[in-house]
């Protein structure tokens, strides 16, 4: 029969982690810059900085790459939701920033309106 050995818990310090994990910890920790969504308002212009491909646009069957595209913020935080009953509800949106893009149609017609939900770390404010 084995006996469990209880170890005294040491207080957590970032110095105990490898340098790579320290950077990630500091990036979102106390004193870090606010997320991009906190800096954005409705109507703000943004640029997509991450390689993101969306497949929900009918005219782009092979998918549409959003990296480098500029768009307009429709909702900076879709988690703030006011229901039809007049009460404010908080939703847990995994991709909180709702952005609209105007993309030239592949057939040369008028621009296609594309709406996508993106994360804070995928955007850059212009």
Rounded to whole angstroms, the Cα distance separating 54 from 67 reads 11
In a domain, 119, yes or no: yes
In a domain, 8, yes or no: no
Rounded to whole angstroms, the Cα distance separating 13 from 79 reads 32
In a domain, 85, yes or no: yes
- Tally of structural domains, the chain: 1
**Residue-level pLDDT, tens digit, the chain, 126 residues:** 444 444 444 454 555 555 444 444 334 444 444 555 556 788 999 999 999 999 999 899 899 999 999 999 998 877 766 667 777 766 666 788 899 999 998 888 899 999 999 988 899 998
The CATH number of residue 68's host domain is: 2.30.30.50
Which domain covers residue 64, as residue numbers? 34-125
In a domain, 16, yes or no: no
In a domain, 62, yes or no: yes
pTM, full prediction:
0.62
In a domain, 17, yes or no: no
Closest CA to 45 of 119, 123, 112: 123
Helix ranges (H only) for the chain are 19-28, 36-39
Place of tokens 């768009």: 71
Contact 81, 46 (CB under 8 A): no
Contact 71, 46 (CB under 8 A): yes
In a domain, 87, yes or no: yes
């Amino acid at each position: 029969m084995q006996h469990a050995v209880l170890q005294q818990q040491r207080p957590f310090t970032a110095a105990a982690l490898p340098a790579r994990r320290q950077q990630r910890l500091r990036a979102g920790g106390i004193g870090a810059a606010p997320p991009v969504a906190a800096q954005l308002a409705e109507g703000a212009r943004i640029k997509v900085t991450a390689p993101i491909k969306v497949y929900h646009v009918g005219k782009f069957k092979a998918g549409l790459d959003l990296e480098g595209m500029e768009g307009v913020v429709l909702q900076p935080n879709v988690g703030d939701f006011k229901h039809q009953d007049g009460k404010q509800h908080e939703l847990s949106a995994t991709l909180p920033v709702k952005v609209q893009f105007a993309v030239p149609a592949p057939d040369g017609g008028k621009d296609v309106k594309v709406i996508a939900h993106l994360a804070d770390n995928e955007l850059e404010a212009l």
